[in-house]
């Protein structure tokens, strides 16, 4: 589904199928030819052929990442618990559609001036908060300002540094002025921190009351345990078929699994990959396996020996057997990485860059060239990064032995990994969430002066291209620039990317969805409660 024509073709086929002019067999045939995987095509078929959403029921949802000390402050959202909850009780200006395109949420339309420095967002006039008050420009401005200014404690501050000014244009339009052109601003507005909360008289937002304008409102709940929500009747969007949603925090993988098997919940947000094959045997359970832009990276500090030598970096990239890692760590639920941080499901993915293969011999000769035969390095990792994080490094160490490289795996404490190990130890494993566009990701972690430049990589050409691409509105030229940047990352950069992890979540088979699933978060971009329904 990489180019626009295929997308259009599939959309038309779906239309035909809906009217009954296309058989399942024909549909599958064309869809696979158009680049869909067989399972995605099956999902789509069942989606279009019998998708007639029904209202009602309590959707019980087991969630894999929650903490008792989380808060409703959108600036400090970290865990899935709060991020998912925010997608139910609050709204964003824009949202990622099930087909991964950008769609309206609170903003109905948006437009920019030619150099993409001034953006206008028109708000939906029907939108109301749970308290009954209308959503106005003042609320949007206060919500965005929450992440700006010197005294802001928001983690999303870096996202909005280029914003110079926010102005209301009447009650239902907001004008955003940027210091530099940014063609991706509407995409940025889907970031989970930028939830719209009610403004108070002093221009701050009232986040403590957990009021919002999302499809559901909180009936009762306790942080880190459970939330019980009911439908917000004045919601401005379409969907929200369930009467109630119960979110349960189930941090233990076994608890989630048994809850799903015994029917104590209708859906869980993460399935332990080790048991995936076993779980699939059950007829009552459907597994959704969705390719995402979330990446596993292994940054090497390019300013520290021996990683300051590009041959060493490339040798380390060559001595990893990605296929074995995907088979044994991700149990097949992953897309192979190619050492540039852009996944096939994301926009501007360059399809013609050859896949780097496992080649210990070439790695050996590169090391010979660098005079570093018998290289010995340490890699830091922790169990909490992702399921199998330590095992992955152990496996990598075994694979690298064939190239004469000795990798010493250091398991660091889960607690404090991102403050003490990441950006500090010269070689470590990291897990990244999906970002909507390459610009966001590259600016965040590969630009030479980025705070999170995890590999301390400095490449002038890359930085130059990044700035050019940001303000480029011509799609083809922009795609070419991203392709060149990807090549630079792959051949010069300091980050090994073994794979992009899929979202793998499970639901009881009486829970239905449209067949296409957003790849921004688990469970259809965390919007399962407002998009899915029970089959009666």
HEC profile for 278-305? HHHCCCCEEEEEECCCCEEEEEECCCCC
Token pair 């520290």 is found at 304
Does 151 contact other proteins by CB under 8 A? Answer: yes
Candidates 29-37, 138-146, 383-391, 477-485: pick the segment binding other proteins (CB under 8 A). 383-391
Please state, in angstroms and rounded to a whole number, the distance separating the CA atoms of residues 448 and 345. 26
Please, are residues 64 and 270 in contact by the beta-carbon 8 Å criterion?
yes
Please give the structure tokens belonging to residue 284: 């009552």
- Taking the least distance from each CB to other proteins, the nearer of 170 and 263 is 263
Residue 480 CB neighbour total at 10 angstroms: 16
Considering only residues 10 to 69 of the shown chain, the ones binding other proteins according to CB under 8 A are 67-69
* Residue 4: CB minimum distance to other proteins, A: 33
Estimate the crossing angle of helix 438-445 against helix 475-491, to 10 degrees: 40
The DSSP bridge pattern shows strands 118-123 and 173-178 to be: antiparallel
Dig out the tokens for 530 from the structure.
Answer: 């407002």
Under rule CB under 8 A, residue 160 binds other proteins: no
How much helix, strand and coil, in percent to the nearest 5, is found in the chain?
A: 35, 20, 45
323 touches other proteins (CB under 8 A): no
CB nearer to other proteins: give 176 or 270: 270
- Which has the closest alpha carbon to 482: 445, 454, 441, 520? 441
Residue 461 near other proteins by CB under 8 A: no
The nearest distance, CB 135 to other proteins, in angstroms, is 26
Interacting span for other proteins (CB under 8 A) from 144-152, 162-170, 285-293, 500-508: 144-152
**410 strand-pairing partners:** 380
Query: Residue 391 interacts with other proteins (CB under 8 A)?
Result: yes
Contact pattern from residue 78 through residue 97 relative to other proteins, giving x for each residue in contact according to CB under 8 A and a dash for the rest: x-------------------
Residue (202 or 262) nearer to other proteins, CB:
262
Least separation in angstroms between residue 275's CB and other proteins is 5
To the nearest whole angstrom, how small is the minimum distance from the Cβ of residue 414 to other proteins? Answer: 4
**Beta strand pairing status for 295-299 and 430-432?**
antiparallel
Cβ nearer to other proteins, comparing 67 with 209:
67
Specify the DSSP element, H or E, that contains 37.
Answer: none
Binding mask 327-366 for other proteins (x = CB under 8 A): xx--x-----------------------------------
Q: How far is the CB of 261 from other proteins (least distance, A)?
A: 6
Instruction: Copy the structure tokens of residue 150.
Output: 């010197």
Pairwise CA distance, residues 218 & 246, whole Å:
10
List the one residue from 4, 19, 132, 150 that touches other proteins (CB under 8 A): 150
Phi and psi at residue 155, to the nearest 5°: -75, -10
The SS3 of residue 85 is: helix
Task: Note whether 473 binds other proteins by CB under 8 A.
Answer: no
Q: How many residues bind other proteins (CB under 8 A)?
A: 67
Residues 417-436 that bind other proteins (CB under 8 A): 418-420, 422
Cβ–Cβ < 8 Å for 500, 335: yes
The distance of closest approach from Cβ of residue 224 to other proteins in the complex, given in angstroms and rounded to an integer, is 7
User: Which of the stretches 14-22, 44-52, 154-162, 455-463 binds other proteins when contact is defined by CB under 8 A?
Assistant: 154-162
Under 8 Å CB-to-CB from 415, ≥6 apart: which residues?
Answer: none
Instruction: Report the residue number, 252 or 361, with the smaller CB distance to other proteins.
Output: 252
Q: Are 187 and 440 in contact (CB under 8 A)?
A: yes
Stretch that binds other proteins, among 137-145, 237-245, 299-307, 409-417 (CB under 8 A): 409-417
Cα–Cα distance between 517 and 496 in angstroms, integer? Answer: 28
Helix (H, G, I), strand (E, B) or coil at 320: coil
Segment lying near other proteins (by CB under 8 A), choices 120-128, 181-189, 217-225, 492-500: 217-225
Q: Which of residues 237-296 bind other proteins (CB under 8 A)?
A: 248-255, 257-259, 261-262, 264, 272, 274-275, 278-279
**CA-wise closest residue to 302 among 314, 292, 291:** 314
Residues in contact with other proteins by the rule CB under 8 A:
67-71, 76, 78, 150-158, 222-226, 248-255, 257-259, 261-262, 264, 272, 274-275, 278-279, 327-328, 331, 382-384, 388, 390-391, 393-395, 397-398, 409-416, 418-420, 422, 451
């Amino acid at each position: 589904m990489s180019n626009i024509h295929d997308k259009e073709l599939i959309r038309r086929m779906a239309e035909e199928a809906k009217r009954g002019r296309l058989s399942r067999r024909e549909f599958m045939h064309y869809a696979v030819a158009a680049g869909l995987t067989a399972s995605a095509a099956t999902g789509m078929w069942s989606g279009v052929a019998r998708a007639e959403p029904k209202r009602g029921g309590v959707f019980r949802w087991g969630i894999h990442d929650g903490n008792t000390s989380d808060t409703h402050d959108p600036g400090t959202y970290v865990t899935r618990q709060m991020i998912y909850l925010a997608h139910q009780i609050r709204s964003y200006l824009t949202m990622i559609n099930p087909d991964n395109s950008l769609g309206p949420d609170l903003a109905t339309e948006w437009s920019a001036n030619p150099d993409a420095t001034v953006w206008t967002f028109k708000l939906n006039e029907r939108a109301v908060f749970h308290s009954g008050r209308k959503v106005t420009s003042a609320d949007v401005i206060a919500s965005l300002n929450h992440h700006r200014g010197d005294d802001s404690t928001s983690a999303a501050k870096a996202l909005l540094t280029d914003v110079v000014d926010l102005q209301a244009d009447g009650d239902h339009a907001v004008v955003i002025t940027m210091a530099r052109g940014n063609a991706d601003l509407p995409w940025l507005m889907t970031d989970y921190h930028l939830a719209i909360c009610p403004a108070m008289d002093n221009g701050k937002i009232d986040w403590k009351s957990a009021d919002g304008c999302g499809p559901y409102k909180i009936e009762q709940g306790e942080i880190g345990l459970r939330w019980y929500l009911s439908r917000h009747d004045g919601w401005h969007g379409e969907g929200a078929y369930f009467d109630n949603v119960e979110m349960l925090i189930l941090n233990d993988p076994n608890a989630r699994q048994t809850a799903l098997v015994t029917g104590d919940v209708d859906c869980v947000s993460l399935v332990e990959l080790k048991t995936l094959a076993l779980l699939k045997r059950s007829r009552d359970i459907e597994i959704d396996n969705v390719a995402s832009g979330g990446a596993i990276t292994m940054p090497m500090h390019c300013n520290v020996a021996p990683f300051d030598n590009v041959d060493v970096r490339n040798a380390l990239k060559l001595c990893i057997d990605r296929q074995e890692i995907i088979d044994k760590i991700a149990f097949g639920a992953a897309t192979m990485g190619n050492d540039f941080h852009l996944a096939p499901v994301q926009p501007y993915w360059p399809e013609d860059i050859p896949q780097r293969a496992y080649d210990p011999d070439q790695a050996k000769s590169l090391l010979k060239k660098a005079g570093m035969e018998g290289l010995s390095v340490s890699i830091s990792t922790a169990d909490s990064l992702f399921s199998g994080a330590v095992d992955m490094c152990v496996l990598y160490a075994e694979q690298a032995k064939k190239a004469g490289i000795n990798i010493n795996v250091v398991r660091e404490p889960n607690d404090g990994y991102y403050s003490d190990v990441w950006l500090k130890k010269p070689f470590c494993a990291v897990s990244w969430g999906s970002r909507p566009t390459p610009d966001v990701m590259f600016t965040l972690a590969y630009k030479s002066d980025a705070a999170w430049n995890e590999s301390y990589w400095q490449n002038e050409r890359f930085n130059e291209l990044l700035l050019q691409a940001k303000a480029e509105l011509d799609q083809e030229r922009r795609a070419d620039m991203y392709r060149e940047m990807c090549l630079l990352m792959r051949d010069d950069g300091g980050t090994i990317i073994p794979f992009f992890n899929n979202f793998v979540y499970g639901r009881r088979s009486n829970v239905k969805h449209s067949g296409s699933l957003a790849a921004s978060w688990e469970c259809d971009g965390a919007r399962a409660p407002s998009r899915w329904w029970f089959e009666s």
